[in-house]
Amino acid sequence: MRSYGQYCSVAKALDVVGDRWTLLIVRELLLQGPCRYTDLKNGLPGIATNLLADRLHQLEEAGLVWREDAPPPVATTLFHLSQSGLELRPVLDALGAWGIRHMPEPADGDDFRSHWFAYPISLFVHDRDPDGPPLSIELHAGDRPASIEVSGGSVRTRLGTSPSPDLILDGSPRLILGLLAAYLTPAEALDLGLNISGDPAILRRLQPEPTPLPSLSPGRTACPAPRRPPALTPAEQHRLARQPLASRAGR
C-alpha cells in the first residue's frame, strides 16, 4: 500500500482507503452486509477480478475487513466489515450527499445497481406522518426491483418486491429519484417516460418541502425542488430535472 508520507490524519486515512475502488468496496459491504466474492464483483461493475482480490487483501491487512468461512448451507467465504470499517459509514454518507451535485449529467454507459438507491433515498425521503398507515413503493430500474417501506416514522430501502405495493415506479433511476426528491412532478415524470402505477399522491408524505426555483422560461412555472441537500445550486437542480438520461439502466 502506497503512502503519502505525511504526518496528517487526512493523509493517513487516504493511505488506507484512498486507492481506486476501495471506498466502493466499503459501500457494497455497508449496503449489502456480509458478501460473497461474487456479490462484491456484481456490485462493482468494471472492476477486474485480480484488482478486487488485491483491494480485499489490503483492507484485511488494514483491519477494515475480515473473512468468514461460512458453514453449510452457505459453504463459502463471506467478507465482513470490522468495527473500524463500519466507522466509515458517516464518511460514505457525506460523500453520497456531496456527490449528488455530479449526478445531473450521467455519462454514457453508466452502470446502475438497484441497491444503490439507498444513499439518495436516505437523503430525500423522510416519513412526515409517522402516525400514518404503513406504505410501500416498488421501484423497477437497474438489475433487480427494490422497495421502499415506510412505517412509524422510519423509511427502509431493500431489494425485492413488495407483496401489495401502494405505488410502483418503473423507469430510469434518474427519473425515479427526480420524482421522489420532488424535482419532478408526477405529470412531468410521466411526460419524460416514467411509468407510474398507483396513486402518486402518497409521495407527499415522504417528499421534502418544495421550494420554487427561479422561472425556467417566460410564462413557465418552475418545478418544485427540495431543500435537501442544500449544497445543490438552482442550476444543478434544474439540470437534474431536465437533462436527458444516458444510462445503461434506462428502460
What is the per-residue pLDDT across 67-123, written as a single tens digit (0 to 9) for each? 999 888 878 999 999 999 999 999 999 999 898 888 876 677 889 999 999 988 988
What is the per-residue pLDDT across 116-156, written as a single tens digit (0 to 9) for each? 999 889 888 999 999 999 999 999 997 899 999 999 999 99
pLDDT at 39 over 90: yes
Residues 138 and 192 grouped into a single domain: yes
* Domain that residue 163 falls in: 108-242
- Is 98 part of any domain? no
pLDDT (0 to 100) of residue 140 = 96
pLDDT (0 to 100) of residue 210 = 57
What is the per-residue pLDDT across 197-240, written as a single tens digit (0 to 9) for each? 999 999 999 987 654 433 333 343 333 344 343 344 445 444 44
Q: What's the number of domains the chain is made of?
A: 2
Residues 121 and 229 grouped into a single domain: yes
Q: What is the pTM of this model?
A: 0.79
- Is 218 part of any domain? yes
Record the cell numbers describing residue 248, joined without a space: 445503461
- Is 132 part of any domain? yes
Residue 79, domain CATH? 1.10.10.10
